[in-house]
Amino acid sequence: MTNTPIADAPMLPPVPAVSTTVRCVSCNMLLATAYPNDIAMTVPDTHLADDGDAIPRAPRQADGAPCISMAMLGACPQCHTRQWYLEVTRHPGGESKMYDTLANDETWEQLFVTSTAVDARPWRIYAVDTADGAVHRHVIGPMPILDITGAINASGVSACGSGTFWRDAANVATALLPQLEAVERQLTNRTEPPPHRSSAATNARASTA
């Protein structure tokens, strides 16, 4: 880790992309090629993430609109290293429409790529224009799992219990929030954050990364 505070680090601008690659955080195997509304896995019948859950104590707002942060877990088919993705969906239309986005297969129109200013974690942003404004799904990772304690129970990936993994995931989501908000402003060509809007705590499940 660098000693530069994440909130103070220079933000790399998001760049439109026709496609981008996703590689294993451990062995650098090409896991997939991502497109705006599709993903081509290198190994057939595999997935970047098999299961996930909402991250307790993660930020519930991003750049003035409700958001939900998910931890999505998967493994490399070559070296079998467990890794995870932070997935943040933000919807300016409010919580109910955000849940609709999570529940339905959204037809994403654009793909942007950038990386975190600290540790250069790969970062994909899927975008679609709606009547409420641009909806963005941020997928950051893969990232190494330092401690998987508490991440998985008999039902699969679950945040119902307590464990080191969920604490670490919440810390990552919180630390990256300033950068995510900066990306949101860059994508919508704004220089100032919008007025703060209150939002109740959210909790949902999803299975995309």
pLDDT of 45 > 70? The answer is: yes
pLDDT of 194 > 60? The answer is: no
pLDDT of 47 > 50? The answer is: yes
User: What's the pLDDT at 197?
Assistant: 41
pLDDT above 70 coverage of the chain, percent: 81
How sure is the predictor about 10, in pLDDT bands with cuts at 50, 70 and 90?
A: low
pLDDT above 90 coverage of the chain, percent: 53
- Compare 98 and 111 and report the one with higher pLDDT: 111
How sure is the predictor about 161, in pLDDT bands with cuts at 50, 70 and 90?
A: low
Map tokens 């932070």 to a residue.
86
How sure is the predictor about 152, in pLDDT bands with cuts at 50, 70 and 90?
A: confident
User: What's the pLDDT at 6?
Assistant: 47
User: What's the pLDDT at 154?
Assistant: 67
DSSP the chain: --SS-GGGSPPPPPEE-S-EEEE-TTT--EEEEEETTEEEESSTT--S-SEEEE-TTS-SEETTEEEEEEEEEEE-TTT--EEEEEEEEE-TT-HHHHHHHHHS-----EEEEEE-TTTT-EEEEEEEEETTEEEEEEEEEEEE-S--TTSEETTEE--SS--HHHHHHHHHHHHHHHHHHHHHHHHTT-SSPPPP-------------
pLDDT of 103 > 90? The answer is: no
pLDDT of 201 > 70? The answer is: no
Q: What is the mean pLDDT of residues 41-60?
A: 93
- Compare 204 and 94 and report the one with higher pLDDT: 94
What is the average pLDDT value for the chain, to the nearest integer?
83
pLDDT of 140 > 50? The answer is: yes
